[in-house]
Copies of this chain bind each other. A is one copy, B any other.
Amino acid sequence: MNFLEERILKDGIVKDGSILKVDSFLNHQLDVTLLDEIGKEFHKIYGDRGITKVLTVEASGIAIACMSAQHFGVPVVFAKKAKSKNIEGEVYTSKVMSFTYGKEYDVTLSKKFLSEDDTVFIVDDFLATGKALKGLLDICSQAGANVAGIGICIEKRYQGGGDELRAKGYDITSLARIASMDENGIVFG
């Protein structure tokens, strides 16, 4: 069991059998020391792949992306979920169905910040069905950017999104891999 799995057992809460609350350290309150350790792990694995950008989607991905990017020595670029007055000009857009918010939304990224010259490391807090991640991969594909790896904090393996993307050839590292989960506990593996 690694440091993140230990932390999930200590401070994570399983709600209604299917929701894992990690809001005390990963996505509402943020333990930046833990996030730095996560970033170091990702850099150990993907540090030699010529990464030029760390890509994520707002909001909780931003923290993990920043703490990772400082180890890679490259900028973060994050996709936005709402159309803001502050994004103008040419954008990449992809549609994502959100389980958390119960509706479809666009993820948007300015074309200025991702191109075929980029080699991207994608990060996010959760990987379950993979819908948000597919939106980011779609944006990379539109940009012609090379995806060198994907770093996930917590993968719910039983929801299948990770294995589906691995079968397509993506290199995904999930630090905590949940095989099953219910009120009685969490099984990693």
Interfacial residues, chain A to chain B (CB-CB below 8 A):
15, 19, 21, 23-25, 27-33, 35-36, 53, 58-60, 62-63, 65-67, 69-70, 73, 75-78, 80, 82, 84-88, 100-102, 109-110, 112-113
Contacts and interface: CB of A to CB of B under 8 A. Distances in A.
The 10 residue pairs across chains A and B that have the minimum distance between CB atoms: A58-B59, A30-B76, A29-B113, A59-B59, A62-B62, A29-B77, A32-B69, A32-B70, A63-B66, A66-B66
A15 B86 CA distance: 10
Instruction: Report the copy number of this chain in the oligomer.
Output: 2
Given A28-B78, A30-B76, A85-B100, 4 more contacts: A19-B85, A23-B112, A33-B73, A86-B100
Nearest to A36: B70
Contact of A62 (B59, B73, B77, B87): B59
Residue from the set A33, A66, A84, A112 with the largest chain B CB neighbour count within 10 Å: A66
A57 to B, nearest CB: 10
A63 B84 contact: no
A70 to B, nearest CB: 5
Contact of A24 (B53, B62, B85, B113): B113
Given A59-B78, A63-B76, A77-B28, A84 B101 contact: yes
Nearest to A77: B29
A28 B87 contact: yes
Contacts of A67: 66, 70
Contacts of A78: 28, 30, 59
